[in-house]
Amino acid sequence: MKAYIYINGAIILENEAAISPLNPGFLFGEGLFETIRTDTGIIFMLPEHIERMRAGLKILNLQIPPDFDQIAAVSTELLTKNQLLHKTASIKLICCARNLDHKISSPKASTSLIIRVAELNLDEIGARQRGMRAQILPWRKNRSNPLLAIKSLNYLENRYGLKEAVRAGFDEGIFLNQDGELCEGTFSNLFLIRQRTLLTPPLNAGILAGTTRDFILRKARQTGIECQEMPLLVDDLKNCDGAFLTSSLMRLAPLTEVDQINFDLEQSTRLRKELLNFFN
């Protein structure tokens, strides 16, 4: 089946899409991306993803693309053309600098918008939702790095961390910051469960403000579940009833192990089911 992609104002065949090898997004990772889940045409938290990208463009001093307000309509059209409107799929939004001669000291660089859709592998998602094993990664993130607050195209540290974790036999890698505090996974946010309280690292620990993380915190508080955004150490993993990871695509996946700390999923099953109901 032919696959279609949106790039710079046009929907074209994916195998015909191209950017210059001198594009700053390609050369330096000067740009942003968002990954969004869609179920039977319903795009989950699209406004929140768009606003996070808008804030990131401001940080990187990049222009808002002229077609930025068309993201919802174009995404739906792409889902339709790729025969994914009635399936579970992912939408990838990419904004990257396009000025080949843009100087850092000059006004905001013009920006390309790329949108791609693909069917979501529900078998892989289902396996994660049955339980994941994670490894504490051996190097630490600098919590003062302002780029940790954006979803940059320069995602190599996260990709490398995930590869290292998988190579060691784990499903995910967990970062610590330079103070030894728990941060986040390479593609996920981290929550601990202590009785009926959710604990999660604060944004100033050096984490990305995950849209699914924010969704769970907001919904949990609305239903009377206590939530604490607080500094957490590895030892806190030993004093909790369970832990789970969140991301836009997998939503919520329980942890069965972090390094050699094991969790009994039965202890937190009821609360996790309550949280999963938020997505229905």
For 253, the token pair is 């996946």
- Same domain, yes or no: 159 and 82: no
Domain end among 103, 120, 137: 120
Domain end among 105, 120, 135: 120
- Rounded to whole angstroms, how far apart are CA atoms 225 and 63? 40
E-assigned strands of the chain?
4-7, 10-13, 31-39, 42-43, 88-97, 111-119, 132-141, 172-177, 182-185, 189-194, 197-200, 226-229, 242-247, 251-258, 261-262
Q: Which DSSP symbol is given to 173? A: E
- Same domain, yes or no: 34 and 165: no
- Same domain, yes or no: 66 and 132: no
Into how many domains does the chain fold? 2
Residues 185-197: what's their mean pLDDT?
Answer: 97
- Same domain, yes or no: 116 and 131: no
Query: pLDDT tens digit string along 221-268?
Result: 999 999 999 999 999 999 999 999 999 999 999 999 998 999 999 999
CATH classification of the domain holding 104? 3.30.470.10
Residue type, 227: C
- Same domain, yes or no: 219 and 132: yes
> For the chain, what is the largest distance between any 2 Cα atoms, rounded to a whole number of angstroms?
57
Q: What is the sign of the dihedral through the CA atoms of 228, 49, 166 and 173?
A: negative
Residue 20 confidence class, pLDDT cut points 50, 70, 90: confident
Q: Rg of the chain's alpha carbons, rounded to an integer? A: 19
For 257, counting Cβ atoms within 10 Å of its Cβ (0-12 exposed, 13-18 middle, 19+ buried), the class is middle
- Same domain, yes or no: 24 and 110: yes
- Which structural domain range is residue 227 located in? 126-277
pTM listed for this prediction = 0.94
Domain end among 120, 153, 184: 120
- Same domain, yes or no: 262 and 166: yes
Query: pLDDT tens digit string along 26-67?
Result: 989 999 999 999 999 999 999 999 999 999 999 999 999 999
- Same domain, yes or no: 67 and 164: no
- Same domain, yes or no: 199 and 110: no
- Same domain, yes or no: 151 and 252: yes
CATH classification of the domain holding 206? 3.20.10.10
Contact (CB, 8 A) for 207 and 142 = no
- Rounded to whole angstroms, how far apart are CA atoms 8 and 67? 8
- Same domain, yes or no: 188 and 265: yes
Beta strands 10-13 and 31-39: pairing type? unpaired
- Same domain, yes or no: 173 and 242: yes
